Amino acid sequence: MVTGEITLDIDEENKTSLQQILGQLEGILQYQLKHRDVIVFYDSQRITYDQILETTLQANYHISRFYVTEEEC
C-alpha cells in the first residue's frame, strides 16, 4: 500500500464542516486538526492529494500552502 500525507495550511478557524467532509471521503485513513494545519493521512491508491485539495477548495476553505509526502509500505 502507498500512503500519503498532506498538510494543509488553512486560514479559517472553523474547521467543523471540513472534518465532516474529510470523514466522508473514501481513502482517508486519518486526519488531525492543529492550530492552522490540517494533516490528512490517506491511501494514495484510493484517493489522490488533488482530490483532497479540490474537495477542500469546493467547501470554501482557503489553503495558504500545502505539503505532500507519499511512501510505500
Q: List pLDDT tens digits, range 3-42.
A: 999 999 987 777 888 889 999 999 999 999 888 889 999 9
Q: What is the DSSP letter of 4?
A: E
pTM: predicted TM-score of the whole model, two decimal places: 0.86
Q: What is the dihedral of CA 31, 33, 38, 42, to 10 degrees?
A: 0
Cell numbers found for residue 60: 470554501
Whether the Cβ atoms of residue 41 and residue 25 lie closer than 8 Å to each other: no
